Amino acid sequence: MTSSDWNPCDGTTIGSSDRHQRDPDAEDGLCAACRATMAAADAAAPRSWVLFCERTKDGKLEHFYPAVRVVEMCGGKLEDIVRVRLEPAEDGDLWGWRYSHHPVNTTYRGQVSMIYSREMLVEMCFPYGTAAEKKRGRGEIVRLKAEILGPAKKNEAIGG
C-alpha cells in the first residue's frame, strides 16, 4: 500500500492505535463500523431539546443556547429569557440544525443549534449549504416547535 492509499476514517482517534481506513469514496468519511455506530446513536438519541432563549416584546423567540449567560451576551435581558423545550413539528415556526452522531461533531453530537425563524437563515450558516453537509452525514435541518417551560434563572445552564 502506498501512502496515497491511506485515507483514514473520520472515526479514527488521532494518536490512537485504532487506526482504520474509510470506505473508498465514502462521502461521510467513515468506515462501515463507524457508520453503523453513528446510525445506532442517532436512532437512540432523544428528539427533544431543552434550551434557553430570549422572548422578545412581540413574542418572538431567538438566540437559543444551553446557557442563560450566552443568551444575555446576545443582548437578552434576564427577565426576557425563558427555558424552552424544542421538538420536531411539521408546522413548527422554527428551523435548526440537528448534529448527527458523526465523530467530527464531537461534543455537538445529537444537539440542535443555529435555530432561527426562517429556514434560509439556517442554510446560510453553511458555506456550501445544508444539503452538502447532510450528504456528508454531519446532520440535517429540523423544523421545530418551542414550548415555553418557564422563566430562566440567573446563570442557569443545561447540564451544568
Q: Which residues bind Zn ion (CB under 5 A)?
A: 9, 11, 31, 34
Closest separation in Å from C-beta 137 to Zn ion: 12
Minimum distance of Zn ion from residue 11's CB (angstroms): 3
Structure-block grid coordinates of residue 75: 443582548
Instruction: Specify the amino acid at residue 155.
Output: N
* Closer of 30 and 51 to Zn ion (Cβ): 30
Q: Least Å distance between CB 98 and Zn ion?
A: 22
Question: Of the two residues 34 and 86, which places its CB atom closer to Zn ion in the complex?
Answer: 34
* Dihedral angle sign, alpha carbons of residues 12, 18, 21, 23: negative
- 86 contacts 48 by C-beta, under 8 angstroms: yes
In the chain, where does DSSP find H-type helix?
Answer: 32-44, 68-73, 119-123, 129-135
11 versus 110: smaller Cβ distance to Zn ion? 11
Q: Which is nearer to Zn ion, 12 or 130 (CB)?
A: 12
Identify which of residues 10 and 72 has a Cβ nearer to Zn ion in the complex. Answer: 10
CB of 41 to Zn ion, least distance (A): 14
Nearest to 114 by CA among 158, 63, 152: 63
Q: Tell me the closest approach of the beta carbon of residue 45 to Zn ion, in angstroms.
A: 19
Q: Which residues 6+ apart lie within 8 Å of 154 measured at CB?
A: 68, 78
Which amino acid, one-letter code, is at 22? R
